[in-house]
Structure 1
Amino acid sequence: MKILSIKTIFKPQLYIAFTLATSIAYAQTPVSQSEQPSKNGMVVCAYPDAAQAGLSILKKGGNAVDAAVAVQFALAVTLPEAGNIGGGGFMVYRSAKGQTNTLDYREKAPGKANADMYLDANGNVIPNKSLYTHQAVGVPGSVDGMIEAHRKYGKLKWAELVQPAINLAHQGFKITQHLAADLNRNQADFKRLNPSKSYFLKDTPWAAGDLLVQEDLAKTLMLIRDQGRAGFYNGTVATQLISEMKSADGLITQADLDNYHSVWRKPVIGKYKQYKVITMPPPSSGGIALLQLLHSVEPFPLHRWGYNQDSTVQLIVEAERRVYADRSKYLGDPDFYKVPVDSLLRPSYVDNRMKSFTWAQATPSSAIQPGTFVGYESDQTTHYCIVDREGNAVSITTTLNGSFGAKIFVKGAGFLLNNEMDDFSSKPGVPNMYGLVGGKANSIQPGKRMLSSMTPTILEKNGQLFMVVGTPGGSTIITSVFQTILNVIEFNQTPQQAVASKRFHHQWLPDDIETEHEALDKSVEAKLQQKGYKITDRGAIGRVEAIVKTPQGYVGGADPRGDDTKAGW
């Protein structure tokens, strides 16, 4: 079979933290951070202290995977709304010699989970049960994922990689204005959902520069440092986690923890013009969707049309609505459901999907259904990119799902639990917190991994590393990565310009184009509206991180919508 050539911001009301970005004045394509190339390696991630933790490992002689482990644990301390040890994620890896691999450390449904667990006696979805209860929690995968990544590719000793996070938790770190605002907004929820705990609570409002110390989390990280996997999935921490579950009818048991293992999977690979695209396979929907999107727009002169012009936006929106329709039916955990990867990526299939597109008017989403083919058998998130001195590259997206996950702490262990169970389809056709709908492929089953939009991606050009990219953002992840790649390749933007440029998003349902404030010129909006497109102004979309390899060295792009930071040497 011929492989085709070729969302962290959620709804504002669901991810309040990032709506701060709407008040941040940044130009259409600003260069807000130095773009001086770094010859020896680079880390780009969502918090300054975590970026420095990763850079310190690179300077010690660690490779990209070593630095990724350090960043993962450091983000669990410094970016509690998304960084985690109680969640999961995906890693795309490319060695300096061009070998590729992906690691799936996505959370899994507990053994006691079932397809109707969020429905009432009348078969209706119970509001918030899959979001802010102990039943919303999937079996965490982050610790196992980091251990497995280090086992296979790591260079330095494990304890060296966890220690920076321990130092940040034990000694504390000075919080930014963004984090202070997030902590203040969530005080009521923390109190309500954690009646016997005091984590993140403060008698006076948090302010930029306050020292945040997390002693219980430091103790947990010490156990992980000293005992590896057993320090989290067995012993003291496991007992604390299970006790937390039992306190409010949670489902996770010791058997669930024992049975959790991350999985190495073959990446999905495609081409866009002269670029090779290496990205994440299912249970991420992101990789397949990204390759479909790139193939859909490849025949058109985007470079000539220009960034966010009416023809560019219309083409991208029509491609997005068809791809998200396919996502609703065909994507799920490949260990439980036969995902038709080859069929979805067949060039003739993607071309045929675009045949109903007309320049004259918008295609109503009601007229678009998931495609068919012969033989088919059936926010909060964060991203980081790392390249080391040798040229090994890592693209990782990790998540608790919503901001601060379920907002429930494990008492005594000091870490937050995810609410990833909401990423399953609680009921066919009923949207999740990001407005995404699904069906049988993403139904709840014990031990199954929930579908994700995470799209960590690495690109090659002429057989050499070219770009490392990814973002948080729920359902907007796919479109944000897609548009950032186009910004670099088609619109000649620098990495910093590409991640900072304003974005738009369409996901089939609801049938509207969501735009960042002033992302489109008024004349462009008017032309699209005349063709029947509904345009909705919303908060910030995504927090993209990127690294591009140039002849002079690595050049990073750190999204100005948050505290995102690039650190190179």
Structure 2
Amino acid sequence: MTGHQVVGPGVVVTDSELCASLGLGVIRDGGSSVDAAITTALCQGIVHPHLSGIGGGGVMLVHDGRKNESVVIDFGETAPSRIQEKILQHDLQHKSGLLVGVPGMLRGLHQAHQLYGRMPWHDVVVRAANIAKEGFNVSDSLARAIDSQKGKNVSKNFRAMFLPRGQPLPPLSTLKLPHLATLLERVASHGMEEFYHGNVSEEIALTVQANGGVLTRADLANYSSVLQEALTSQFKGYQVHVPPPPSAGGALLYFLNIIEGFKFTEQNQEAEFQEGRVQALRQRGHVVQRVEHLSLVLGAERRGDVMHGVTDPRSTEASAQAITRPSPRVQIKPGS
């Protein structure tokens, strides 16, 4: 991790020192931890647009220590209403708009702020907007992502932002995103109406359709984030809370339950843990497939019931017992 900041009872951790500092400022100025998370998430979407952003979605888990309860806000992207399986069989390289889902990021962050925010919405969002307006240094990760697009059929706007004069932006160069800054300022002042119902929604829909997609203004207007209960389990005496499917949180709990049930010897504890972790992750791969399948087939209403077998430690005892005693690390050969 390259960015972590601590203030009083608050901690902000990201892979961007700039965004961690921004979130820290929110806490220092009296904002809640959720206020800080919102500002930090928006900042991450600005400095790492290849990994995150308001055009996508996500999930947030909030634990209320006073009430001892965890709430999950699911704001993942959804498929446009007109999408059909046969449509996705087209050449997606020439119809990239078909890969665009209904963005949920802003809707979900806004709901989180309504439930747990302390600082005004405008202040929370504008702090991130200022980063886009004033500029930031291009990270190595972003520079590599931009360079990978050199020579490809990218949009005019992409070339203007990231490939000036046909050359990819190098690491540490300054990048400003004034159009994104303006959009975030409008969202800060006018709320969700600006993005999901106003002129912005029309611009998004028309751009997607111009690239072969089927997203409509109605899809944006009808989008809503979903409140869910967190999955809960125990690990080494600690209570662990994770989001339900389609997040991989259930698979993480399954993995932890297997590791907890595995008995390590004092002599080779580190080597055995590493090998046990690898074998447990192999088990986890099957669980991820199972979770994804259940999410698709059964839908959100029944996910809590079917996940019981994944989160219940008793269900993983057989898996833990099935893991063979690992060999000391010195006996593991390259390529094995």
Interval of TM-score (by shorter of Structure 1 and Structure 2):
0.7 to 0.9
Aligned-residue CA RMSD (Å): 2.8
Deviation at 1:195, TM superposition (A): 4.1
Query: Does residue 313 of structure 2 align to residue 347 of structure 1?
Result: yes
Q: Which secondary structure state, in structure 2, belongs to the residue aligned with residue 86 of structure 1?
A: coil
Tell me how far apart the structure 1 counterparts of residues 4 and 47 of structure 2 sit (CA, whole Å).
25
Equivalent position of 1:289 in the other structure: 251
Which residue of the other structure, out of 262, 277, 286, is the alignment partner of 1:316?
277
Q: 1:325 to 1:33 in 2, by over 3 A?
A: closer
Equivalent position of 2:54 in the other structure: 85
Higher relative contact order (CA 8 A, sep 6+): 1
Tell me how far apart the structure 2 counterparts of residues 229 and 36 of structure 1 sit (CA, whole Å).
30
Equivalent position of 1:49 in the other structure: 18
Tell me how far apart the structure 1 counterparts of residues 213 and 181 of structure 2 sit (CA, whole Å).
25
Q: 1:199 to 1:88 in 2, by over 3 A?
A: same
Which residue of the other structure, out of 108, 115, 121, is the alignment partner of 2:78?
108
TM-score, structure 2 normalization: 0.87
Deviation at 1:159, TM superposition (A): 0.5
Which residue of the other structure, out of 117, 120, 123, is the alignment partner of 1:160?
123
Deviation at 1:132, TM superposition (A): 7.8
Contact 1:118 1:130 in 2 (8 A): no
Q: 1:37 to 1:111 in 2, by over 3 A?
A: closer
Q: Percent identity?
A: 25
The aligned runs of 1:174-323 (5 Å cut-off) are: 174-189=137-152, 192-195=153-156, 198-203=160-165, 204-284=167-247, 286-302=248-264, 304=266, 305-307=268-270, 309=271, 311-323=272-284
Q: Which secondary structure state, in structure 1, belongs to the residue aligned with residue 77 of structure 2?
A: coil
Tell me how far apart the structure 2 counterparts of residues 68 and 131 of structure 1 sit (CA, whole Å).
37
Q: 1:117 to 1:303 in 2, by over 3 A?
A: farther
| Deviation readout 1:268-315 (Å, 9 max, x if unpaired) | 00001211101111121x2211111111121334483333x1x32332
Q: Which secondary structure state, in structure 1, belongs to the residue aligned with residue 12 of structure 2?
A: strand
Q: 1:36 to 1:84 in 2, by over 3 A?
A: closer
The aligned runs of 1:491-506 (5 Å cut-off) are: none
Structure 1 unmatched ranges of 5 or more: 1-31, 121-125, 362-519, 536-569
Which residue of the other structure, out of 15, 37, 41, is the alignment partner of 1:72?
41
Query: Does residue 89 of structure 2 align to residue 119 of structure 1?
Result: yes
Tell me how far apart the structure 2 counterparts of residues 315 and 132 of structure 1 sit (CA, whole Å).
44
Structure 2 unmatched ranges of 5 or more: none
Contact 1:225 1:231 in 2 (8 A): no
Q: 1:263 to 1:154 in 2, by over 3 A?
A: same
Tell me how far apart the structure 2 counterparts of residues 172 and 200 of structure 1 sit (CA, whole Å).
13
Q: Which secondary structure state, in structure 1, belongs to the residue aligned with residue 162 of structure 2?
A: coil
The aligned runs of 1:268-417 (5 Å cut-off) are: 268-284=231-247, 286-302=248-264, 304=266, 305-307=268-270, 309=271, 311-331=272-292, 332=295, 335=299, 338-339=302-303, 340-359=306-325
Deviation at 1:248, TM superposition (A): 1.9
Equivalent position of 1:410 in the other structure: none
